[in-house]
Structures are given as structure tokens and as C-alpha cells.
Amino acid sequence: MSGEAPAQGCVLGLDVGGTGMKGAVLDHGMRPVETVHRRTPRADGPLAVVDAITDTLFTLNALAAERALPVHHAGVVVPGIVDDERRRAVWSANIGWRDLPLAALLEERTGLRVTLGHDVRAGGMAERALGAVRGARNVLFVAIGTGIAAALVCEGAPVHSGGYAGELGHVVVEPGGRPCPCGSAGCLETVASATAVAAAYTARTGLVVTGAADVAALAAQGDPMARAVWQRAADGLADALATATALLAPESIVLGGGLAEAGPLLLDPVRAGLEQRLTFQRPPVLVRAELGDRAGCLGAGLAAWCAAGHTPTPQRTGVPAP
């Protein structure tokens, strides 16, 4: 497919999160010619979320029609356990569905051809194609937010393993530590997620913070308790990433999600901790994600173009925000 003429028309990309949905009509250059943002009605139950996804795809399709752009394919990415090959949303704690044939259901409702994927894997592929690690063959993309998940790109292709690959947040970094909702204890998510960082600061000080960004700001100002909580999170990440490096030997590790918005405040101690923990292993390049909350939507669009049989031709100078 390399060397092909740019395809006419567009694809639809939709990233379904626990709180919001980000959609775009994407041309062959991966430029978002139209965008849509919607609330995810997860409090109303999983079927309401399916209804909202359907409505959003209809809206995106209508926007493409207004521009006389034929839609080749739609890419939808969701959180949880996603079996790409079986085209099923296997499980999601945030949304509540179980073994749902989501792609087939959306195709039946909308008449569109739909490819289903995982939000973090899609983000990792987008960072490789459009963002911080363009062209790298072996990449570990780690999204650190309310939870922690990872995507492994191996020799240019994402690793799926039936949807179970990438659960870095449930690597144990503090044996016998705080209970994790997964049923284990001391998981990375209980130490280094945004939720865990905010909760740890409140538990140590009795002061309620609105989120991890508050703790980051206090740490930057020299607050000793905030710095201790932040260092604990960085150490946990370094432990988990050292294990991943020993097993997978990624060329690059990309940190994304809300916690990575702290930039060097997070990357510098994680990088130092990782270097201390490695001996003979090839040290990966540790970088911050470039695409931010656009990554999932753009990754969904990349998958849609691939499913349609075309290789998109993104501009290397950057991609406008969906």
C-alpha cells in the first residue's frame, strides 16, 4: 500500500472514555476536518453508553456528508479489556459491559464498517505514527491517569494477546501494600496513579486536594510531604518499567496521561530511578507523550484507515487537535 495515491474521503475516529468521548472526521493526511466532544453517560448504564456511541457516529457521519466526504471506515476505541480479533468489548470496570460484540452492534445500528480497539493501544500507535516516537519499532506507551495501562508496540505492531496485554498498572511494586480493586495488593495503580497520589497526600497530611496536579504543584514548591508522595510514585513507576525493560527491551518508553503533564517533575526522577535499576539491559529513551488527549482518537483513525486498506499520509510537522 506504500506509494498509493492519497485516498479520497475520510474515516471516523472515536475515543470513548469513562467521562467523555472525542470524535473526529479525519482525512487521508490525518487532519481532523470536523470534531465532536460528548459526555459519556456511564452513570446510566452500559446500554446508554452504546446508544451515545451510536449517536456520535451518526453525527460524525453527517458532518462528513456535509463536506461531501465518503466515509471509508469508522474506528472506535474503548477502555478495559478489548479483544480486537473477536471485535468484542470483553470487560470494562468504568463502563460496565461484559463480553459485548460492540463492533458488530455498531455496524448493525449505523450501517458503517467499524473496527474496534483499545484506547491505550490506539494511543501508543498514534504516538509512534504521529507523536513522540515517530518510526520507532519497539515502544512501550504508558498512560498514567485514574488508572495505569500500557501498550506494547513490537516490531511495529501492537501486542494484543486477546486484549489482556499491557496491564502494567497491576504489576505489584509494593508486596503487601494497599489493596487494589483488582483483588491484589500493592499494584502500581495503588502507588502511582493520579488517584493514588492524591489519596496518599491526603492520608499523610489530612489536607484534601482536588487531584494529583495539586500534589505536583506542591512538590514543585518544595512541600516535603508532597515531594515524598511524588517520589514514591516515581519509584513505583521505575520498578515497573525496569521489569518491563528486562522482559521487552523497548527502544523507547512514552509516558502519557494526566500525571505526565507534570513533565520533568515526573520524567526526571523516573528516568533516574530506571537507570539505577538497570544493569546490562539496553536503557530505553524515556519521553513524554506529544499528542495528549488526542492520541486515542487519532489512533482510532489510523486503525480505520488500515482496515479500509489505505495507509494514511500524516504531515510530520504535527497533527491539529481533534
- The answer to whether the beta carbons of residues 294 and 258 sit under 8 Å apart is no
pLDDT over 60 (residue 281) = yes
Q: Confidence band (pLDDT; 50, 70, 90) for 4?
A: low
**pTM for this prediction:** 0.90
pLDDT tens figures, 189-201: 999 999 999 999 9
State residue 236's pLDDT score.
98
**Residue 293 predicted with pLDDT over 60:** yes
What percent of the chain is helix, strand and coil (3-state, nearest 5)? 40, 25, 35
Query: Looking at residue 315, what is its pLDDT?
Result: 64
Class of domain 10-124+293-307 as given by CATH = alpha beta
Q: What is the pLDDT of residue 18?
A: 86
What per-residue confidence (pLDDT) applies to 181? 87
Instruction: Convert the pLDDT of each residue in 109-125 to its tens digit.
Output: 999 999 999 999 999 99
Amino acid identity, position 195: T
pLDDT band at 266 (very low <50, low <70, confident <90, very high): very high
The domain limits of the chain are: 10-124+293-307, 134-289
| CA–CA distance, 292 with 310 (Å, rounded to integer) | 25
Is it true that 10-124+293-307 and 134-289 share their CATH fold?
A: yes
**CATH tag for 134-289 (out of 3.20.20.450, 3.40.50.720, 3.40.605.10, 3.30.420.40):** 3.30.420.40
Cα separation of 313 and 299, whole Å?
14
> Does pLDDT of 2 surpass 80?
no
Burial class (CB in 10 A: 0-12, 13-18, 19+), 43: exposed
Q: What is the DSSP string of 134-165?
A: TT-SSEEEEEESSSEEEEEEETTEE--GGGTT
Bridge partners of residue 285, in order along the sequence:
252
92, amino acid identity: S
